[in-house]
Structure 1
Amino acid sequence: MLAAISMFIVAGCSLGDLPGAGTTDPVDGQKLNVYFLDVGQGASQLLVTPSGKTMLIDAGNNDKEQVMLDYMKTYHIEKLDVVVGTHPDADHIGGLDKVIDHLPVSAIYMPKVQSNTKTFESLLQSIKNKGLKVKTARAGLSFDLDDQVHVDMLAPNGTYENTNNMSAVVKVTYGHTSFLLTGDAESESEKDMLASGADLHADVLLVGHHGSNSSTTLKFLKQVQPKYAVIQVGKGNTYGHPKSAVLNRLQKQGVEVYRNDLQGTITITSDGKSLHIVTER
Protein backbone atom coordinates (compact mmCIF):
# COMPACT_ATOMS: atom_id res chain seq x y z
CA MET A 1 0.00 0.00 0.00
CA LEU A 2 2.76 2.48 0.90
CA ALA A 3 4.52 1.70 -2.35
CA ALA A 4 1.32 2.30 -4.27
CA ILE A 5 0.83 5.66 -2.63
CA SER A 6 4.38 6.79 -3.32
CA MET A 7 3.82 6.13 -7.01
CA PHE A 8 1.18 8.81 -7.26
CA ILE A 9 1.99 11.51 -4.72
CA VAL A 10 4.40 14.21 -5.88
CA ALA A 11 5.19 16.85 -3.29
CA GLY A 12 5.09 20.52 -3.96
CA CYS A 13 3.69 20.60 -7.48
CA SER A 14 1.86 23.59 -8.88
CA LEU A 15 -0.78 23.72 -11.55
CA GLY A 16 1.43 25.07 -14.27
CA ASP A 17 -0.40 23.22 -17.02
CA LEU A 18 -3.62 25.18 -16.55
CA PRO A 19 -4.10 28.43 -18.45
CA GLY A 20 -4.34 31.70 -16.61
CA ALA A 21 -1.84 34.49 -16.14
CA GLY A 22 -3.37 36.17 -13.12
CA THR A 23 -6.84 37.15 -12.05
CA THR A 24 -8.47 40.13 -13.72
CA ASP A 25 -11.61 42.13 -13.15
CA PRO A 26 -14.71 40.08 -13.92
CA VAL A 27 -16.35 40.57 -17.29
CA ASP A 28 -19.95 41.76 -17.15
CA GLY A 29 -22.42 38.93 -17.45
CA GLN A 30 -19.92 36.17 -16.78
CA LYS A 31 -20.62 33.89 -13.83
CA LEU A 32 -18.83 31.54 -11.48
CA ASN A 33 -21.16 28.77 -10.32
CA VAL A 34 -20.42 26.89 -7.11
CA TYR A 35 -22.64 23.87 -6.48
CA PHE A 36 -22.75 22.42 -2.97
CA LEU A 37 -24.04 19.04 -4.07
CA ASP A 38 -26.50 17.15 -1.90
CA VAL A 39 -24.71 13.88 -1.21
CA GLY A 40 -26.35 13.17 2.14
CA GLN A 41 -23.96 12.80 5.07
CA GLY A 42 -20.89 13.70 3.06
CA ALA A 43 -19.44 16.55 1.07
CA SER A 44 -18.93 17.59 -2.54
CA GLN A 45 -18.50 20.92 -4.27
CA LEU A 46 -18.48 21.50 -8.02
CA LEU A 47 -17.19 24.76 -9.47
CA VAL A 48 -17.69 25.96 -13.05
CA THR A 49 -15.85 29.14 -14.04
CA PRO A 50 -16.95 31.82 -16.51
CA SER A 51 -14.80 30.24 -19.23
CA GLY A 52 -16.10 26.74 -18.49
CA LYS A 53 -13.17 25.43 -16.43
CA THR A 54 -14.25 22.91 -13.82
CA MET A 55 -13.10 21.88 -10.35
CA LEU A 56 -14.57 19.09 -8.23
CA ILE A 57 -13.80 18.97 -4.52
CA ASP A 58 -14.75 15.63 -2.94
CA ALA A 59 -17.57 13.37 -4.12
CA GLY A 60 -19.59 12.01 -1.20
CA ASN A 61 -19.59 8.46 0.15
CA ASN A 62 -19.28 5.14 -1.67
CA ASP A 63 -23.03 4.79 -2.06
CA LYS A 64 -23.17 8.13 -3.92
CA GLU A 65 -21.14 7.04 -6.96
CA GLN A 66 -24.13 6.99 -9.32
CA VAL A 67 -25.48 10.16 -7.74
CA MET A 68 -22.20 11.90 -8.58
CA LEU A 69 -22.26 10.63 -12.17
CA ASP A 70 -25.83 11.88 -12.47
CA TYR A 71 -24.75 15.31 -11.20
CA MET A 72 -22.01 15.42 -13.84
CA LYS A 73 -24.67 14.83 -16.51
CA THR A 74 -27.08 17.33 -14.96
CA TYR A 75 -24.49 20.09 -15.07
CA HIS A 76 -23.10 19.01 -18.47
CA ILE A 77 -19.64 18.29 -17.12
CA GLU A 78 -17.61 16.52 -19.81
CA LYS A 79 -14.18 16.92 -18.20
CA LEU A 80 -12.66 18.05 -14.92
CA ASP A 81 -9.72 20.43 -14.98
CA VAL A 82 -9.01 20.00 -11.27
CA VAL A 83 -10.07 17.36 -8.76
CA VAL A 84 -9.37 17.75 -5.03
CA GLY A 85 -9.78 14.94 -2.53
CA THR A 86 -9.62 16.88 0.71
CA HIS A 87 -8.66 13.89 2.89
CA PRO A 88 -9.14 10.10 2.89
CA ASP A 89 -12.49 9.86 4.74
CA ALA A 90 -15.00 7.80 2.76
CA ASP A 91 -17.76 10.42 3.01
CA HIS A 92 -15.52 12.78 1.05
CA ILE A 93 -13.69 10.58 -1.46
CA GLY A 94 -16.06 7.59 -1.76
CA GLY A 95 -17.51 8.68 -5.08
CA LEU A 96 -14.33 10.07 -6.63
CA ASP A 97 -13.15 6.81 -8.16
CA LYS A 98 -16.20 6.46 -10.41
CA VAL A 99 -16.07 10.10 -11.43
CA ILE A 100 -12.42 9.71 -12.42
CA ASP A 101 -13.26 6.48 -14.24
CA HIS A 102 -15.91 8.22 -16.36
CA LEU A 103 -14.46 11.68 -17.06
CA PRO A 104 -11.16 13.08 -18.34
CA VAL A 105 -9.22 14.72 -15.48
CA SER A 106 -6.34 17.16 -15.99
CA ALA A 107 -5.00 17.43 -12.44
CA ILE A 108 -5.72 15.90 -9.04
CA TYR A 109 -4.68 17.17 -5.62
CA MET A 110 -4.71 15.28 -2.34
CA PRO A 111 -2.90 15.91 0.95
CA LYS A 112 0.09 13.75 1.81
CA VAL A 113 -1.79 11.37 4.09
CA GLN A 114 -2.44 7.69 3.61
CA SER A 115 -5.20 5.28 4.47
CA ASN A 116 -5.45 1.49 4.26
CA THR A 117 -9.17 1.50 3.47
CA LYS A 118 -10.63 -0.13 0.37
CA THR A 119 -12.17 3.22 -0.50
CA PHE A 120 -8.77 4.90 -0.64
CA GLU A 121 -7.21 1.99 -2.51
CA SER A 122 -10.00 2.09 -5.08
CA LEU A 123 -9.41 5.81 -5.63
CA LEU A 124 -5.68 5.27 -6.11
CA GLN A 125 -6.41 2.51 -8.61
CA SER A 126 -8.70 4.78 -10.62
CA ILE A 127 -6.00 7.48 -10.60
CA LYS A 128 -3.40 4.95 -11.77
CA ASN A 129 -5.69 3.67 -14.53
CA LYS A 130 -5.97 7.21 -15.91
CA GLY A 131 -2.19 7.71 -15.83
CA LEU A 132 -2.52 10.61 -13.39
CA LYS A 133 -0.10 11.59 -10.66
CA VAL A 134 -1.42 13.07 -7.44
CA LYS A 135 -0.10 16.52 -6.64
CA THR A 136 0.27 17.29 -2.95
CA ALA A 137 -2.41 19.59 -1.54
CA ARG A 138 -0.80 21.87 1.03
CA ALA A 139 -0.83 25.42 2.31
CA GLY A 140 0.93 27.87 0.01
CA LEU A 141 -0.17 26.43 -3.31
CA SER A 142 -1.76 28.94 -5.64
CA PHE A 143 -3.05 28.77 -9.21
CA ASP A 144 -5.50 30.28 -11.65
CA LEU A 145 -8.41 28.02 -12.56
CA ASP A 146 -9.01 30.37 -15.45
CA ASP A 147 -7.93 33.94 -16.19
CA GLN A 148 -10.51 35.32 -13.76
CA VAL A 149 -10.81 32.70 -10.99
CA HIS A 150 -7.95 32.28 -8.53
CA VAL A 151 -7.39 29.37 -6.14
CA ASP A 152 -5.30 29.38 -2.95
CA MET A 153 -4.73 26.37 -0.73
CA LEU A 154 -4.57 27.47 2.90
CA ALA A 155 -4.17 24.09 4.60
CA PRO A 156 -2.82 21.69 5.65
CA ASN A 157 -0.01 23.72 7.19
CA GLY A 158 1.84 20.69 8.52
CA THR A 159 1.38 17.07 9.48
CA TYR A 160 -1.32 16.07 11.94
CA GLU A 161 -2.24 12.78 13.56
CA ASN A 162 -5.92 13.49 13.04
CA THR A 163 -6.60 13.07 9.32
CA ASN A 164 -9.41 15.64 9.49
CA ASN A 165 -6.78 18.27 10.18
CA MET A 166 -4.93 17.13 7.05
CA SER A 167 -7.88 18.39 5.01
CA ALA A 168 -7.07 20.51 1.99
CA VAL A 169 -8.65 23.92 2.57
CA VAL A 170 -9.33 25.80 -0.65
CA LYS A 171 -10.08 29.50 -1.11
CA VAL A 172 -11.59 30.50 -4.44
CA THR A 173 -11.67 34.16 -5.47
CA TYR A 174 -13.58 35.68 -8.36
CA GLY A 175 -13.51 39.47 -8.56
CA HIS A 176 -14.62 40.83 -5.21
CA THR A 177 -16.24 37.56 -4.08
CA SER A 178 -14.67 34.55 -2.40
CA PHE A 179 -15.42 31.07 -1.09
CA LEU A 180 -13.60 29.20 1.69
CA LEU A 181 -14.02 25.43 1.37
CA THR A 182 -12.72 23.66 4.45
CA GLY A 183 -13.25 19.89 4.16
CA ASP A 184 -13.19 18.41 7.66
CA ALA A 185 -10.54 20.80 9.04
CA GLU A 186 -10.82 21.01 12.82
CA SER A 187 -9.74 23.55 15.43
CA GLU A 188 -6.04 22.59 15.27
CA SER A 189 -5.89 23.29 11.55
CA GLU A 190 -7.96 26.45 12.00
CA LYS A 191 -5.47 27.67 14.62
CA ASP A 192 -2.56 27.10 12.26
CA MET A 193 -4.37 28.86 9.40
CA LEU A 194 -4.88 31.85 11.69
CA ALA A 195 -1.21 31.78 12.70
CA SER A 196 -0.07 31.58 9.08
CA GLY A 197 -1.28 35.09 8.35
CA ALA A 198 -3.19 33.94 5.28
CA ASP A 199 -6.16 36.01 4.13
CA LEU A 200 -9.05 33.93 5.46
CA HIS A 201 -11.82 36.41 4.73
CA ALA A 202 -14.53 34.94 2.50
CA ASP A 203 -18.11 35.74 1.60
CA VAL A 204 -19.09 32.06 1.73
CA LEU A 205 -17.80 29.53 4.27
CA LEU A 206 -18.24 25.80 3.90
CA VAL A 207 -18.61 24.95 7.58
CA GLY A 208 -15.91 22.51 8.66
CA HIS A 209 -16.64 18.86 9.41
CA HIS A 210 -20.38 19.05 8.66
CA GLY A 211 -21.06 21.40 11.56
CA SER A 212 -19.24 19.37 14.20
CA ASN A 213 -18.16 20.94 17.48
CA SER A 214 -14.59 20.16 16.45
CA SER A 215 -14.60 22.98 13.90
CA THR A 216 -15.69 26.58 13.23
CA THR A 217 -14.13 28.09 16.33
CA LEU A 218 -15.15 31.64 17.19
CA LYS A 219 -11.68 33.05 16.43
CA PHE A 220 -11.69 31.40 13.02
CA LEU A 221 -15.22 32.52 12.25
CA LYS A 222 -14.44 36.10 13.22
CA GLN A 223 -11.44 36.10 10.90
CA VAL A 224 -13.36 34.66 7.95
CA GLN A 225 -16.34 37.00 8.49
CA PRO A 226 -18.62 35.16 6.05
CA LYS A 227 -21.97 36.50 4.93
CA TYR A 228 -23.18 33.01 4.12
CA ALA A 229 -22.37 29.53 5.41
CA VAL A 230 -23.13 26.16 3.86
CA ILE A 231 -23.35 22.99 5.94
CA GLN A 232 -23.06 19.75 3.99
CA VAL A 233 -24.98 17.28 6.12
CA GLY A 234 -27.46 14.43 5.66
CA LYS A 235 -30.97 14.10 7.02
CA GLY A 236 -31.24 12.37 10.39
CA ASN A 237 -27.52 11.61 10.57
CA THR A 238 -26.34 9.66 13.60
CA TYR A 239 -23.67 12.24 14.48
CA GLY A 240 -26.11 14.96 15.46
CA HIS A 241 -24.66 17.30 12.83
CA PRO A 242 -24.85 20.20 12.70
CA LYS A 243 -24.30 20.86 16.39
CA SER A 244 -26.44 23.51 18.08
CA ALA A 245 -23.34 25.29 19.44
CA VAL A 246 -22.06 25.80 15.90
CA LEU A 247 -25.44 26.98 14.64
CA ASN A 248 -25.69 29.42 17.56
CA ARG A 249 -22.18 30.71 16.88
CA LEU A 250 -23.05 31.35 13.23
CA GLN A 251 -26.31 33.05 14.20
CA LYS A 252 -24.59 35.35 16.70
CA GLN A 253 -22.14 36.42 14.00
CA GLY A 254 -25.02 37.25 11.67
CA VAL A 255 -24.21 34.54 9.14
CA GLU A 256 -26.98 33.28 6.89
CA VAL A 257 -26.91 29.46 6.93
CA TYR A 258 -27.81 27.00 4.16
CA ARG A 259 -27.98 23.22 4.65
CA ASN A 260 -28.14 20.29 2.26
CA ASP A 261 -30.38 18.29 4.59
CA LEU A 262 -33.01 21.02 4.58
CA GLN A 263 -32.57 22.59 1.15
CA GLY A 264 -30.96 20.00 -1.11
CA THR A 265 -28.25 21.12 -3.51
CA ILE A 266 -27.28 24.76 -2.99
CA THR A 267 -26.09 26.80 -5.96
CA ILE A 268 -24.21 30.04 -5.37
CA THR A 269 -23.55 32.16 -8.43
CA SER A 270 -21.07 35.04 -8.47
CA ASP A 271 -20.74 37.77 -11.10
CA GLY A 272 -17.55 38.91 -9.36
CA LYS A 273 -19.41 41.60 -7.47
CA SER A 274 -22.42 39.98 -5.81
CA LEU A 275 -23.77 36.54 -5.00
CA HIS A 276 -27.04 34.88 -5.98
CA ILE A 277 -28.19 31.79 -4.06
CA VAL A 278 -30.66 29.16 -5.28
CA THR A 279 -31.68 26.07 -3.32
CA GLU A 280 -33.16 22.83 -4.62
CA ARG A 281 -36.02 23.01 -2.14
Structure 2
Amino acid sequence: MIKQRFLKLSKNAQCWIILFCILCCVIGCSSASLSVTQNDFVVHYIDVGQGDCSLISCGGKYMLIDSGEEEESKNVLEYLKELRIKELEYVVNTHPHSDHIGGMHKILSEVDVNTIIMPDICNEITEYNKMVDVINKRKITTIVACAGNVYSLGGSIFTILAPNSNEYENINDYSVVIKFDYQDTSFLFTGDCENISEYEMVASGYDLGSDVLKVAHHGSSTSTCESFLKAVNPTIAVISAGENNQYGHPHASVMSLLDRYNVECFCTKDCGTIIIISDGTGYSVIKEKEISRACACYKIRV
Protein backbone atom coordinates (compact mmCIF):
# COMPACT_ATOMS: atom_id res chain seq x y z
CA MET A 1 0.00 0.00 0.00
CA ILE A 2 1.22 3.49 -0.88
CA LYS A 3 0.18 4.86 2.50
CA GLN A 4 2.26 2.29 4.38
CA ARG A 5 5.36 2.98 2.30
CA PHE A 6 4.86 6.68 2.85
CA LEU A 7 4.79 6.30 6.61
CA LYS A 8 8.18 4.56 6.56
CA LEU A 9 9.91 7.62 5.11
CA SER A 10 12.11 9.83 7.28
CA LYS A 11 10.42 12.70 9.12
CA ASN A 12 12.06 15.28 6.86
CA ALA A 13 10.92 13.45 3.74
CA GLN A 14 7.40 13.23 5.14
CA CYS A 15 7.34 16.97 5.79
CA TRP A 16 8.43 17.83 2.25
CA ILE A 17 6.00 15.40 0.65
CA ILE A 18 3.13 16.56 2.84
CA LEU A 19 3.89 20.18 1.92
CA PHE A 20 3.95 19.25 -1.76
CA CYS A 21 0.72 17.27 -1.51
CA ILE A 22 -1.15 19.95 0.39
CA LEU A 23 -0.20 22.48 -2.26
CA CYS A 24 -1.49 20.08 -4.92
CA CYS A 25 -4.73 19.38 -3.11
CA VAL A 26 -5.71 22.78 -1.78
CA ILE A 27 -5.42 24.55 -5.13
CA GLY A 28 -8.92 24.68 -6.52
CA CYS A 29 -10.65 24.26 -3.14
CA SER A 30 -12.66 27.05 -1.57
CA SER A 31 -9.65 28.79 -0.15
CA ALA A 32 -8.95 30.52 3.13
CA SER A 33 -5.16 30.30 3.26
CA LEU A 34 -2.53 27.74 2.40
CA SER A 35 -0.73 28.30 5.68
CA VAL A 36 -2.03 26.85 8.93
CA THR A 37 -1.49 28.67 12.21
CA GLN A 38 -2.18 27.49 15.74
CA ASN A 39 -5.09 29.92 15.91
CA ASP A 40 -6.84 28.45 12.87
CA PHE A 41 -9.88 26.24 13.40
CA VAL A 42 -9.14 22.79 12.01
CA VAL A 43 -11.46 19.79 11.79
CA HIS A 44 -10.19 16.30 11.00
CA TYR A 45 -13.07 14.03 9.96
CA ILE A 46 -11.07 10.87 10.60
CA ASP A 47 -11.84 7.89 8.39
CA VAL A 48 -12.87 5.10 10.78
CA GLY A 49 -14.84 3.06 8.27
CA GLN A 50 -18.52 2.60 9.14
CA GLY A 51 -18.31 4.79 12.24
CA ASP A 52 -17.70 8.33 13.38
CA CYS A 53 -14.72 10.24 14.73
CA SER A 54 -13.86 13.94 14.46
CA LEU A 55 -10.90 15.83 15.89
CA ILE A 56 -11.15 19.59 16.33
CA SER A 57 -8.30 21.96 17.13
CA CYS A 58 -8.24 25.68 17.84
CA GLY A 59 -5.72 27.79 19.71
CA GLY A 60 -3.71 24.77 20.82
CA LYS A 61 -6.78 23.11 22.39
CA TYR A 62 -8.35 19.88 21.16
CA MET A 63 -11.71 18.11 21.17
CA LEU A 64 -12.44 14.56 20.05
CA ILE A 65 -16.00 13.72 19.03
CA ASP A 66 -16.57 9.94 19.11
CA SER A 67 -14.04 7.22 18.35
CA GLY A 68 -15.45 4.73 15.88
CA GLU A 69 -15.51 0.99 16.61
CA GLU A 70 -13.01 -0.61 19.01
CA GLU A 71 -10.85 -1.95 16.16
CA GLU A 72 -10.31 1.62 14.92
CA SER A 73 -8.89 2.86 18.24
CA LYS A 74 -5.32 1.98 17.25
CA ASN A 75 -5.61 4.15 14.12
CA VAL A 76 -7.14 7.04 16.06
CA LEU A 77 -4.44 6.88 18.74
CA GLU A 78 -1.76 6.82 16.04
CA TYR A 79 -3.39 9.84 14.42
CA LEU A 80 -3.28 11.75 17.71
CA LYS A 81 0.32 10.66 18.27
CA GLU A 82 1.40 11.88 14.83
CA LEU A 83 -0.10 15.27 15.68
CA ARG A 84 1.68 15.19 19.06
CA ILE A 85 -1.59 15.51 20.93
CA LYS A 86 -1.19 14.35 24.53
CA GLU A 87 -4.19 16.11 26.05
CA LEU A 88 -7.78 16.62 24.96
CA GLU A 89 -9.67 19.54 26.44
CA TYR A 90 -12.98 17.86 25.63
CA VAL A 91 -14.20 14.47 24.54
CA VAL A 92 -17.77 14.23 23.29
CA ASN A 93 -19.53 10.86 23.27
CA THR A 94 -22.51 11.67 21.08
CA HIS A 95 -24.47 8.53 22.02
CA PRO A 96 -23.71 5.00 23.27
CA HIS A 97 -23.54 2.97 20.07
CA SER A 98 -20.38 1.00 19.35
CA ASP A 99 -19.70 2.63 15.97
CA HIS A 100 -19.36 5.92 17.84
CA ILE A 101 -17.88 5.02 21.24
CA GLY A 102 -16.56 1.50 20.69
CA GLY A 103 -12.91 2.49 20.91
CA MET A 104 -13.29 5.29 23.40
CA HIS A 105 -12.18 3.26 26.44
CA LYS A 106 -8.79 2.68 24.82
CA ILE A 107 -8.37 6.33 23.89
CA LEU A 108 -9.35 7.51 27.38
CA SER A 109 -6.83 5.07 28.84
CA GLU A 110 -3.93 6.56 26.91
CA VAL A 111 -4.71 10.26 26.44
CA ASP A 112 -5.30 12.82 29.20
CA VAL A 113 -8.81 14.28 29.03
CA ASN A 114 -10.08 17.28 30.98
CA THR A 115 -13.83 17.01 30.39
CA ILE A 116 -16.24 14.55 28.82
CA ILE A 117 -19.62 15.63 27.46
CA MET A 118 -22.23 12.93 26.90
CA PRO A 119 -26.02 12.46 26.94
CA ASP A 120 -27.90 11.19 29.96
CA ILE A 121 -28.51 7.75 28.50
CA CYS A 122 -26.72 4.45 29.00
CA ASN A 123 -26.59 1.35 26.85
CA GLU A 124 -25.58 -1.94 28.42
CA ILE A 125 -23.13 -2.94 25.75
CA THR A 126 -19.58 -4.06 26.50
CA GLU A 127 -17.96 -1.03 24.87
CA TYR A 128 -20.07 1.40 26.88
CA ASN A 129 -19.35 -0.35 30.17
CA LYS A 130 -15.61 -0.40 29.43
CA MET A 131 -15.70 3.32 28.70
CA VAL A 132 -17.53 4.11 31.94
CA ASP A 133 -15.03 2.01 33.89
CA VAL A 134 -12.12 4.04 32.49
CA ILE A 135 -13.92 7.33 33.16
CA ASN A 136 -14.43 6.33 36.79
CA LYS A 137 -10.92 4.91 37.18
CA ARG A 138 -9.27 8.06 35.82
CA LYS A 139 -11.79 10.34 37.58
CA ILE A 140 -12.48 12.34 34.42
CA THR A 141 -14.93 15.21 34.85
CA THR A 142 -18.16 14.35 33.03
CA ILE A 143 -20.88 16.79 31.98
CA VAL A 144 -24.37 15.79 30.86
CA ALA A 145 -25.11 17.47 27.54
CA CYS A 146 -27.71 20.19 28.04
CA ALA A 147 -29.16 22.06 25.08
CA GLY A 148 -28.33 25.75 25.20
CA ASN A 149 -25.09 25.41 27.16
CA VAL A 150 -22.15 27.30 25.66
CA TYR A 151 -18.44 26.51 26.03
CA SER A 152 -15.16 27.61 24.47
CA LEU A 153 -12.32 25.78 22.76
CA GLY A 154 -9.32 27.98 22.06
CA GLY A 155 -10.68 30.97 20.17
CA SER A 156 -13.91 29.21 19.17
CA ILE A 157 -17.30 28.92 20.84
CA PHE A 158 -19.47 25.81 20.77
CA THR A 159 -23.12 25.43 21.71
CA ILE A 160 -25.01 22.26 22.63
CA LEU A 161 -28.18 22.11 20.50
CA ALA A 162 -29.44 18.60 21.33
CA PRO A 163 -30.73 16.40 22.84
CA ASN A 164 -33.85 18.36 23.75
CA SER A 165 -35.70 15.57 25.56
CA ASN A 166 -34.97 12.64 27.86
CA GLU A 167 -37.75 10.38 26.60
CA TYR A 168 -36.70 9.21 23.16
CA GLU A 169 -37.46 5.68 22.01
CA ASN A 170 -34.41 5.60 19.72
CA ILE A 171 -30.93 5.99 21.24
CA ASN A 172 -29.85 7.85 18.10
CA ASP A 173 -32.10 10.76 19.04
CA TYR A 174 -30.14 11.25 22.26
CA SER A 175 -27.18 12.26 20.10
CA VAL A 176 -25.29 15.33 21.27
CA VAL A 177 -25.45 17.98 18.55
CA ILE A 178 -22.85 20.74 18.66
CA LYS A 179 -22.44 23.94 16.68
CA PHE A 180 -19.01 25.57 16.55
CA ASP A 181 -18.62 29.26 15.74
CA TYR A 182 -15.16 30.50 14.82
CA GLN A 183 -15.23 34.16 13.79
CA ASP A 184 -17.26 34.23 10.55
CA THR A 185 -17.33 30.47 9.98
CA SER A 186 -19.43 27.75 11.60
CA PHE A 187 -19.51 23.96 11.78
CA LEU A 188 -22.34 21.64 12.88
CA PHE A 189 -21.78 18.13 14.30
CA THR A 190 -24.86 15.92 14.54
CA GLY A 191 -23.93 12.42 15.73
CA ASP A 192 -26.70 10.04 14.67
CA CYS A 193 -29.62 12.36 15.42
CA GLU A 194 -32.68 11.46 13.40
CA ASN A 195 -35.69 13.38 12.13
CA ILE A 196 -37.36 13.74 15.54
CA SER A 197 -34.34 15.52 17.01
CA GLU A 198 -33.91 17.59 13.84
CA TYR A 199 -37.53 18.77 13.99
CA GLU A 200 -37.07 19.70 17.66
CA MET A 201 -34.00 21.83 16.90
CA VAL A 202 -35.80 23.64 14.07
CA ALA A 203 -38.88 24.21 16.26
CA SER A 204 -36.72 25.51 19.13
CA GLY A 205 -35.58 28.41 16.98
CA TYR A 206 -31.88 27.70 17.41
CA ASP A 207 -29.47 29.39 15.04
CA LEU A 208 -28.59 26.27 13.07
CA GLY A 209 -26.99 28.11 10.16
CA SER A 210 -23.57 26.58 9.45
CA ASP A 211 -21.02 26.61 6.65
CA VAL A 212 -20.14 22.95 7.17
CA LEU A 213 -22.61 20.22 8.14
CA LYS A 214 -21.48 16.87 9.47
CA VAL A 215 -24.39 14.85 8.06
CA ALA A 216 -26.18 12.80 10.71
CA HIS A 217 -26.22 9.01 10.93
CA HIS A 218 -23.73 8.38 8.11
CA GLY A 219 -26.18 9.73 5.53
CA SER A 220 -29.09 7.48 6.57
CA SER A 221 -32.52 8.16 5.06
CA THR A 222 -33.90 8.62 8.60
CA SER A 223 -31.88 11.81 9.07
CA THR A 224 -31.30 15.12 7.25
CA CYS A 225 -34.91 16.11 6.72
CA GLU A 226 -35.49 19.00 4.33
CA SER A 227 -36.59 21.52 6.98
CA PHE A 228 -33.41 20.86 8.96
CA LEU A 229 -31.18 21.18 5.90
CA LYS A 230 -32.91 24.45 5.00
CA ALA A 231 -32.28 25.81 8.50
CA VAL A 232 -28.61 24.80 8.43
CA ASN A 233 -28.11 26.02 4.85
CA PRO A 234 -24.58 24.61 4.55
CA THR A 235 -22.09 25.13 1.75
CA ILE A 236 -20.30 21.85 2.50
CA ALA A 237 -21.50 18.52 3.89
CA VAL A 238 -19.26 15.78 5.27
CA ILE A 239 -20.44 12.18 5.62
CA SER A 240 -18.62 9.45 7.54
CA ALA A 241 -19.38 6.03 6.05
CA GLY A 242 -17.43 2.88 5.26
CA GLU A 243 -16.68 1.53 1.80
CA ASN A 244 -19.23 -1.07 0.62
CA ASN A 245 -21.11 -0.82 3.94
CA GLN A 246 -24.12 -3.09 4.39
CA TYR A 247 -26.50 -0.19 5.05
CA GLY A 248 -26.07 1.56 1.71
CA HIS A 249 -24.87 4.74 3.43
CA PRO A 250 -25.04 7.46 2.33
CA HIS A 251 -28.60 6.96 1.11
CA ALA A 252 -29.48 8.13 -2.41
CA SER A 253 -32.34 10.30 -1.10
CA VAL A 254 -29.97 12.23 1.17
CA MET A 255 -27.44 12.72 -1.61
CA SER A 256 -30.21 13.92 -3.91
CA LEU A 257 -31.43 16.41 -1.31
CA LEU A 258 -27.93 17.77 -0.75
CA ASP A 259 -27.47 18.10 -4.50
CA ARG A 260 -30.80 19.90 -4.86
CA TYR A 261 -29.65 22.49 -2.31
CA ASN A 262 -26.27 22.85 -4.05
CA VAL A 263 -24.33 21.49 -1.07
CA GLU A 264 -20.87 20.21 -1.96
CA CYS A 265 -20.52 16.78 -0.36
CA PHE A 266 -17.44 14.88 0.80
CA CYS A 267 -17.64 11.30 2.10
CA THR A 268 -14.90 9.43 3.95
CA LYS A 269 -15.55 6.25 1.96
CA ASP A 270 -14.50 8.15 -1.16
CA CYS A 271 -12.05 10.69 0.26
CA GLY A 272 -10.51 9.00 3.29
CA THR A 273 -9.88 11.38 6.17
CA ILE A 274 -11.14 14.88 5.38
CA ILE A 275 -9.52 17.98 6.86
CA ILE A 276 -11.18 21.39 6.78
CA ILE A 277 -9.14 24.43 7.80
CA SER A 278 -10.77 27.77 8.64
CA ASP A 279 -8.97 31.05 9.20
CA GLY A 280 -12.23 32.60 10.41
CA THR A 281 -13.24 34.07 7.05
CA GLY A 282 -13.10 31.07 4.72
CA TYR A 283 -11.92 27.50 4.59
CA SER A 284 -9.88 24.95 2.66
CA VAL A 285 -10.65 21.25 2.19
CA ILE A 286 -7.95 18.57 2.07
CA LYS A 287 -8.78 14.94 1.20
CA GLU A 288 -6.53 12.07 2.27
CA LYS A 289 -6.98 10.03 -0.91
CA GLU A 290 -5.98 12.98 -3.07
CA ILE A 291 -2.87 13.38 -0.91
CA SER A 292 -2.11 9.67 -1.39
CA ARG A 293 -2.45 10.01 -5.16
CA ALA A 294 -0.26 13.12 -5.15
CA CYS A 295 2.32 11.28 -3.04
CA ALA A 296 2.30 8.38 -5.49
CA CYS A 297 2.93 10.73 -8.41
CA TYR A 298 5.71 12.46 -6.49
CA LYS A 299 7.39 9.16 -5.58
CA ILE A 300 7.35 8.09 -9.23
CA ARG A 301 9.06 11.30 -10.32
CA VAL A 302 11.87 10.99 -7.76
Shift of 1:52: 0.4
Equivalent residue in structure 1 for 2:116, among 92, 108, 111: 108
CA distance in 2, matches of 1:197, 1:139: 12
Equivalent residue in structure 1 for 2:231, among 220, 223, 227: 223
TM-score, normalising length: structure 2: 0.82
TM-score, normalising length: structure 1: 0.88
AA paired with 2:131? L
Is the aligned partner of 1:175 residue 2:172? no
Residue 45 of structure 2 corresponds to which residue in structure 1? Answer: 36
Consecutive unaligned residues in structure 1, runs of 5 or more = 1-27
CA distance in 2, matches of 1:75, 1:188: 37
Structure 2 residue matching 1:269: 3-state secondary structure: strand
Is the aligned partner of 1:138 residue 2:143? no
Structure 1 residue matching 2:117: 3-state secondary structure: strand
Given that 2:89 and 2:113 are in contact with CA atoms closer than 8 Å, whether structure 1 keeps it comes out as: yes
Residue 26 of structure 2 corresponds to which residue in structure 1? Answer: none
Equivalent residue in structure 2 for 1:260, among 244, 258, 268: 268
Structure 2 residue matching 1:221: 3-state secondary structure: helix
- Aligned Cα root-mean-square deviation (Å): 1.0
Shift of 1:70: 0.8
Shift of 1:141: 1.2
Moved >4 Å (runs of 4+): none
Shift of 1:138: 2.3
AA paired with 1:139? A
Residue 198 of structure 2 corresponds to which residue in structure 1? Answer: 190
Given that 2:173 and 2:193 are in contact with CA atoms closer than 8 Å, whether structure 1 keeps it comes out as: yes
Structure 2 residue matching 1:161: 3-state secondary structure: coil
Residue 208 of structure 1 corresponds to which residue in structure 2? Answer: 216
Residue 4 of structure 1 corresponds to which residue in structure 2? Answer: none
Larger % of helix: which?
Answer: 2
Residue 156 of structure 1 corresponds to which residue in structure 2? Answer: 163
5 Å-filtered alignment, 1:92-131, equals 92-131=100-139
Shift of 1:167: 0.0
CA distance in 1, matches of 2:172, 2:114: 26
AA paired with 1:213? S
Given that 2:150 and 2:158 are in contact with CA atoms closer than 8 Å, whether structure 1 keeps it comes out as: yes
Aligned pair count reads 252
Structure 2 residue matching 1:234: 3-state secondary structure: coil
CA distance in 2, matches of 1:268, 1:75: 15
CA distance in 1, matches of 2:204, 2:77: 37
Identity across matched positions, percent = 41
AA paired with 1:156? P
Which has the higher mean CA deviation after the structures are superposed, 182-191 or 130-139?
Answer: 130-139
